[in-house]
Amino acid sequence: MKRIVLTFGFIAGGVLSAMMLLTLPFLDQIGYSRAEVIGYATMVAAFLLVFFGVRAYRDRVVQGPLTFGRALTVGLLITLVSTACYVATWELLYFRLAPGFSERYARYAIERAQASGASAQEIEATRRQMETFKRMYDNPLTNAAITFLEPTPIGVLVSVISAAVLRKA
């Protein structure tokens, strides 16, 4: 099981990391909204490897029927490995390769609020929210925890679906 989890986890993590590395330098040209869509679409595509990993475990290791719980465990472990790769890549980008991200994002959020016709109070609330965001993201542990939460729901959902589909066959 360990080999399958690590193999599929690192491949999925590689997909997540590669897309992050490819899109971040062009974030201003792509736009934050489109980059978010690209990022989550990449997460869905990468987490399809959970299905293939669970299937490989069923076919190569168990060689027969697989319980839902065991299939879910394999899927969640693959999710954990790939998410760890995602977090490690983001930490490297945020703190070493792309400094100033939080300032650029805060500027974008405030400009978006202004362009939407928000009141002065709403713009001020957005500015305060962005200051809190910057403080939180500048702490590596908080940054890692928040980043870990981004892809995890998708990985968990794909793990549950994979376990349900592959448990008997």
CB 151 within 8 A of CB 43: yes
Read off the pLDDT of each residue in 8-34 and give the average, rounded to a whole number.
Answer: 93
Distance CA 50, CA 15 (A): 13
Distance CA 52, CA 159 (A): 11
What is the pLDDT of the chain when averaged over all its residues?
93
Helix ranges, 93-139 (H): 101-115, 120-137
Distance CA 43, CA 83 (A): 10
pLDDT digits (tens, 9 = 90+) for 78-133: 999 999 999 999 999 999 988 888 888 888 889 888 888 888 899 899 999 999 98
* Cα dihedral 53, 55, 58, 63 sign: negative
**Structural domain tally of the chain?**
1
Question: Model confidence at 169, in pLDDT bands (50, 70, 90)?
Answer: low
pTM above 0.85, yes or no: yes
Of 141 and 113, which is predicted with more confidence? 141
pLDDT digits (tens, 9 = 90+) for 27-51: 889 988 899 999 999 999 999 999 9
CB 18 within 8 A of CB 126: no
CB 162 within 8 A of CB 50: yes
The yes-or-no verdict on residue 61 having pLDDT over 90 is yes
Distance CA 73, CA 101 (A): 35
Residue span of the structural domain in which 142 resides = 2-166
CB 75 within 8 A of CB 162: yes
